[in-house]
Chain A
């Protein structure tokens, strides 16, 4: 078991998401940055679909109540095991009573802790991904106890580690495709979309990222239709919202762009104030 000593700001259990229930209004949810999460699972020989702990912006303290192999990938929040700094992106054998802490953000916005065999919280509608209203809780809280596999592998692993591409955290360019309503934009709007360096507003979370700045816009709302994680909506007031993994399944704002899967992963690692630029592939 893993005991949550301090949850941090936005810490939750996530796997690849909940699919097949969007037509009854259930969001997909799932890890925000699939690239880092899959890496964390892969390093310790887990399945890509195993659930892990997603930590946003640090300040989390976890106590291990048994020996187990783990890995920490994604954002660097100055992770320490029993006060000693640890390497990211490699397998680590933790012992009973070990304490893993996350503190000051160095780079990135979301860290992933994978444990051998995956976190074993309840499966609801085919997934362990937290989403309030579907699962009992939306975020981890103090004193939560996370079940892990019984008799999980305690063999000291070879020091499996991978080298990550720092570009994943630093690159401003997001690969996007035209969204269903892209053609409704004026020439000027299309140009702005490609050339403006957008800044991420403080209104960013698992549901969506609102961008700073306003462009001229006369496009009205449309008849409610489906939206997907990675959809860039243009609101009547001329602001952009990039929908993320917890987004609602339908919406009424024009869908002007669609982020590539990798662009969603990159954006998930960008905190408030970071700059982004859309790179359109037609």
Chain B
């Protein structure tokens, strides 16, 4: 069942990097997460943390790796083992986004680059169900796959120094939501009033790799209503198990 050819590399003296074929692929993403959970639950060595990305896992150990060969052998055998692990539930999250011109500050530019009207950009952005591949860049920043080809656009050559919290943006073949104010090189087409990172919550980031995201268009007044509910901690995100 573990069908991919993986490569194992030493990454400094206390980390190992495991690589799948370098591409954005749902099957690879699922295999990465499956192996990550096996490592977290079954590693014989003390693991500090495991970082998963599109097609790699980086395992940081508590201690220095003495004989890399032995650790890699252990990992290889763990990869092949069929372990009945608890299947974690996956959810599809409905994320409200306001595409009003007040937020969609780059809609015009995307439109002229890709020869689309504002309406077409918004519809193309709303229609897919996106997969969360992993979380990185900023606390709570979801790397989403599934953007329609007609919205693919090279990153800005001059990144914006300040992108607002909640900004929904596209860049390259990806789309994402800025969880906090940051510099950024993607094109901003809307804003979501949802918090993607909250240290006070039991799960600081509600979404997990391999969950799904569906955007829902909202108007300005609903945006303001949801935002005040989020601030009061009263807003409940819609989710369905998948």
Contact = CB atoms under 8 A, between A and B. Distances in A.
A216 B143 CA distance: 31
Interface of A is mostly: loop
B158 interface: no
A261 B36 CA distance: 25
Interface residues of B, number: 41
Contacts of A248: 136-138
Interface string A207-237: 0000000000000001111101010000000
A23 B139 contact: no
Contacts of B55: 223, 225
Contacts, number: 105
Given A180-B17, A223-B22, A223-B24, A125 B204 contact: yes
A212 to B, nearest CB: 22
Nearest to A122: B199
Given A134-B199, A226-B53, A25 B48 contact: no
Contact-residue bracket for chain A:
20 to 34
Given A25-B141, A224-B54, A228-B12, A20 B136 contact: no
Interface of B is mostly: loop
A210 to B, nearest CB: 15
Contacts of B11: 179-180, 228, 255, 258
B216 interface: no
A160 interface: no
A177 B48 contact: no
Nearest to A255: B11
Which 10 A/B pairs are nearest by Cβ-Cβ distance? A250-B136, A226-B58, A226-B51, A258-B12, A24-B205, A25-B139, A225-B56, A25-B135, A26-B139, A22-B51
Interface of B: 9-15, 17, 19, 22-24, 36, 48-58, 60, 134-141, 143, 179-180, 197, 199, 204-205, 209
24 contacts: A20-B48, A21-B204, A22-B60, A23-B49, A23-B134, A23-B209, A24-B139, A24-B140, A24-B204, A25-B135, A25-B136, A25-B138, A25-B140, A26-B139, A134-B199, A223-B23, A223-B54, A225-B19, A225-B53, A228-B15, A248-B136, A250-B51, A250-B134, A260-B13
Interface of A: 19-27, 124-125, 133-134, 177, 179-180, 222-226, 228, 230, 248-250, 255, 258-261
